[in-house]
Each structure stands twice: as C-alpha cells, then as structure tokens.
Amino acid sequence: MNLEEFAKYIVDYCSDNKINKLYICGNGGSGKTTLSYSIEKEASKYGDVNIISTDDFIVDTELRKNATNKWINNSQEYSYRYTSSNKESYFIKNIDEILYNIDHGINCYYFPKHYEEENNIKQLHSNYYLTIIEGVGTAFLNRSNSLSIFLKCSEETEKERRIKRTNELNRNSIELYDELRTKQFEHNVLTHIDEFNMIVNTDNNIFEIVK
C-alpha cells in the first residue's frame, strides 16, 4: 500500500473496531510524522483529530548533553548521551496526565516544544474522533485500549531520510545516523516492538504489514 492507501486502511480499522486512540512508533526516518498527518487528513472526513508528538515532551537538550547513559548488551558495555531512545529523556508523567484527561472527558492544553507564543498553544479535545500519539517515546507509554503501530525501515533508508530531513530543516548534524545512537535505540526501544499490534515496513515508500 502507498501512504494514502495505508492511512485509509488504518482509519477504517479504527472505525470498524471503535478505536479512538492510535500510537505510532518507529526508528528514525521510518515515516512516523508523515503517516500521522496522512491519517489525520483521512480521519478528518469523519471528525476532528488530536495529534500529540512525544518529541514535545523531551527534556531540554542541554540537560541531556550533560548526562551519560550506560547499558549492557550481549555482555558488552556501551556509553552514549541521552537521546529520544531513553525513557528518562521524556516527561512521561505529563503525557500520561494529558491522555488521562482525554480518556475521562476533560479538554486540556499544552505548549509544543520550541513554541512559547500564546497562539501556538495546542488544545486537545476529549470528544474528538481520533487521538494520534506519535514518536519514539510511545514505546514507553501504556498503549492499552488502542491501536499501536511500529514502523520499520532499513539502515540505508534511515540514513537517506535523515540526511534529507537534516538538510531541509537546517538541523544540527547530530541528527544524522550514527552507530551508538542505533544501538541505544535497539536496546531501549526495539525490545518493545512485539508489544505493538501492528509492525509495518516502510522501505521504498510502501507500507507493508509484516505482523
């Protein structure tokens, strides 16, 4: 399926199964944000949609740069900075409180990361047709009573998409692929993959359901 076809498939699946909450996780460059907005566009034919990015709840970069994460994998010890692949890098409690409010009929607000102007505040509505929570951080959330999707792409695809995104958004080159960042993702996030309802390969811009 292409992007539009897959987005329609997911919206139809949620509708048929009376699901109003959707989690999208995956490695860098796998298409999490792109899919989220495509699903929003498709779902908006039936009602309004909330989108929550877990990236908006990441701890300040300067604080994370001054801390070192250590882990052991296959008897080998690794050390690297805290990235989005660490549960400790998120204000998880804030996300939990927002989702609790939505589940219990309470509208709420939050400021997206990097935005401080009043007109950029995000309002979330408990009665909206669908709430999408996207980002690596979804691996560390309670995803019960929902549909959860894990997107995967090859190392080559991830590198290609990271380079393109970094150049387009004029981001720091630290966003580019590196081996230790990948090993940290594999240790902290990829170990949760089987907890997701659906696993999808996104190479060649094709969405192939593998689970």
Confidence grade of residue 179 (pLDDT, cut at 50, 70, 90): confident
Q: Which domains does the chain have, with CATH numbers?
A: 3-20+32-150+172-201 (3.40.50)
3-state secondary structure (DSSP) of residue 45: coil
What does the angle CA 99 – CA 105 – CA 109 come to, to the nearest 5 degrees? 55
Residue 157 binned pLDDT confidence (cut-offs 50, 70, 90): confident
CB 27 within 8 A of CB 199: no
pLDDT in tens, 189-209: 999 999 999 999 999 999 999
Average pLDDT of the chain is 90
- Count the Cβ atoms, other than its own, within 10 Å of residue 120: 10
Q: Which of 123, 136, 117, 128 is nearest to 33 (CA)?
A: 136
User: Which parts of 8-84 are beta strand (E)?
Assistant: 21-26, 49-53, 68-73, 76-81
* Band of residue 120 on the pLDDT scale cut at 50, 70, 90: confident
Percent of the chain with pLDDT over 70: 91
- Convert the pLDDT of each residue in 81-118 to its tens digit: 899 999 999 999 999 999 999 999 999 998 887 655 55
**Pick from 66-75, 115-124, 172-181: least confident:** 172-181
Kindly state the average pLDDT of the residues 10-19: 97
**Region 171-177 average pLDDT:** 56
Question: Is residue 27 predicted with pLDDT exceeding 70?
Answer: yes
Is residue 156 very low, low, confident or very high in pLDDT (cuts 50, 70, 90)?
confident
Over 60: is that where the pLDDT of 175 sits?
no
Q: What does the alpha-carbon distance between residue 48 and residue 51 come to, in Å, rounded to a whole number?
A: 10
pLDDT, residue 119, reads 64
What confidence category does residue 162 fall into, taking pLDDT thresholds of 50, 70 and 90? confident
